[in-house]
Amino acid sequence: MLTTLMAVAPSSFHTMDAPTAIFATKAFGVGRGFAVLVVIFASLFGLMVLGGHLRGSAQRRRSQKRP
């Protein structure tokens, strides 16, 4: 999706041609791509941990209200 937008946007603005934008996206590199994946998965893992913590906290509060 991003590469399609990068190819279409320059051709609509006439600042550079579409093949140049496609070659620019290929220079992203394996290292940077891996770093982006690590950041995405780490943030998803962090959100899962936070969700589990909040769910457990809510369950403990509900169980304390029952006599």
**pLDDT tens-place string over residues 28-59:** 788 999 999 999 999 999 999 999 999 999 99
Radius of gyration of the chain (CA): 22
Q: Among 19, 21, 16, which Cα is nearest to 2's?
A: 21
CA 20 – CA 14 distance, rounded (Å):
12
Mean pLDDT value across the chain: 78
16 backbone φψ class: left, alpha, beta (φ>0; ψ -120 to 50): beta
Per the CB < 8 A criterion, the answer to whether 36 and 14 are in contact is no
Domain ranges across the chain? 2-65
